[in-house]
Copies of this chain bind each other. A is one copy, B any other.
Amino acid sequence: MKVLMLIAHGSRKQAANDEVSRLAEQISKLEDSEYGAVVPAFLEFAEPDIHQGVERCVELGADTIVAMPYFLAAGRHVAEDIPKEIECARAGNPQVNIEISQYLGESQAMAGLVVQCSHNTGQADEAVKH
């Protein structure tokens, strides 16, 4: 089974981590997805961390894990920290194929998504008014 591990930075605010978990759940419900499961993982401030995330994927029956950095920019976390953690996870789980995908901000479809998002105006202002 192929499992997607969605790796987010993680936040001290639980609500932000919950957004990532909800997104993982949404992805797992996509009908055209080839993933048998989607597991969230966090680099900092929240659990599961990457090590625990990989363990969870393996428990679910993963033979391939695609680790997807849910990051907008290729800072140190994307360029160094995640690859190092994944190297470590590979060493500990030689029976599993673990791949790292493109990070989110690298997506060629991002420009279109931003424009689409920008069409939803109005509600965002409510927070400051009330």
Contact = CB atoms under 8 A, between A and B. Distances in A.
Sorting the interface of chain A by its residue count into under 10, 10 to 19, 20 to 34 or 35 or more gives 35 or more
Contacts of A80: 127-128
B107 A119 contact: no
A115 B20 CA distance: 14
A125 interface: yes
B109 A113 contact: yes
A69 to B, nearest CB: 8
B118 A74 contact: no
Given A19-B105, A68-B118, A102-B121, 6 more contacts: A33-B115, A35-B115, A99-B121, A102-B118, A104-B114, A106-B120
Return the 7 tightest CB-CB contacts between A and B, nearest first.
A83-B128, A16-B73, A102-B120, A99-B121, A100-B124, A26-B111, A68-B118
